[in-house]
Amino acid sequence: MDLSQSMHVLTWEVTKACQLHCRHCRARAIPHRNSGELSVGEIGAVLDDMAEKLSFKPIIVFTGGDPSERDDLDQILEASISRGFITSISPSVTPRITDELVHHWAEMGVRAISLSIDGPNPEIHDRFRGVKGTFERSLQVAHAVVESGMSLQLNTSVGRFTIEGLEQMGELAKALQVSSWEVFFVIPMGRANLKSSLDAQEIERVLEYLADYQGKVGFRVTAVGAPHYVRVQHEGGYTGDQPPRQIVREARGFAFIDHLGEVYPSGYLPLSGGNVRERSIVDIYRESELFTSLRDPHRFAGGCGACDYSVACGGSRARAYAVFGDPLAPDPGCILSGAELPSQTVARIATLRP
């Protein structure tokens, strides 16, 4: 697939409303819905645009906030499913998410559910999510997803508050019979800050663990916010003798639509390429200056531009922006690009860490 022309995954924030209080929340979720949210009709028009212009239909993940806060969620899901998109939901685990609702989604044709579990016990997960009892309820919902026949994706945020339970999380992923485990490296944005994220050496060690773990399980393991996972896998021999393939990351195979229609390269990179109320999502993805620049490794500064893995990896553009205010800057979360940072920058980052 030509990732400059086709999206592989589209994550769609249909609302910012959510009743959890997660410490890392990218969206800075709010208790109530915004009256400016895209309507079902507007969402349908965007779906029609993609169905008409894209030869490959992306996987669509409806998220938030908490998508179940929308009373018209069924209509949104039906609009996506009826147009032939592989449709997934990433709900917040609140009392709204019952076993009956999970089975209802399966009957509608939803293909997968993404659940966030950030620690192997309530002490870690509930503290991180801000509501007691969320861990146990998440396990119940996970079992309901598998029983319904849908694929279960487990999302785990890894940062200062959760890293201690990562290996136990790997065991939990196996026990829950997940189809994929996505490990999200905390990016300092939203409610998260640099003190809550890992440094380059810590990220490297986690990636080495994930690469080793991936070779022992039968499901997909993905590192979100750390595209240099492809380098760690290749250098460790986990991908055999084949050169590493380009991976999906910000603006390259991936796009994010927020509840107001702004189109971002990632939910963690708050720079918009345009709004679907004014311009085609496909045109924004293919032609906007922001998206095209993030797909051009020759424009990356420092170590990311000079790295042998600049095409296959490219570094986290979201972390570069969060730390330096420039999405084309080196990724300070990689031990290779970090070595190229000016000494005064390294010193400044160090002062922000615990």
- 116 closest CA partner among 244, 224, 251, 272: 224
Per-residue pLDDT reduced to its tens digit, 268-307: 999 999 999 999 999 999 999 999 999 999 999 888 988 9
Are the C-beta atoms of 317 and 328 separated by less than 8 Å?
yes
Average pLDDT of the segment spanning 19-41: 74
As a whole-number percent, the residues of the chain with pLDDT over 70 amount to: 88
- Taking Cα atoms as reference points, which of 178, 179, 225 lies closest to residue 206? 225
In this predicted structure, what is the pLDDT of residue 100?
A: 97
The pLDDT assigned to 353 comes to 43
Q: At residue 18, what is the residue type? A: C
Asked if pLDDT for residue 35 goes beyond 50, the answer is yes
DSSP state letter for 199: -
Give the helix/strand (H/E) hosting 281: helix 281-287
pLDDT above 90 for 232: yes
pLDDT grade for 3, boundaries at 50, 70 and 90: confident
Average pLDDT estimate for 188-195:
68
| Residue 290: per-residue pLDDT | 97
Q: What is the CA radius of gyration of the chain?
A: 19
Domains defined along the chain, listed by start: 9-288 (3.20.20.70)
HSE at residue 156, side-chain half, CA atoms within 13 A, is 33
pLDDT surpasses 60 at 20? yes
Interval 289-298: pLDDT, tens: 999 999 999 9
- Mean pLDDT, residues 40-54 taken together: 97
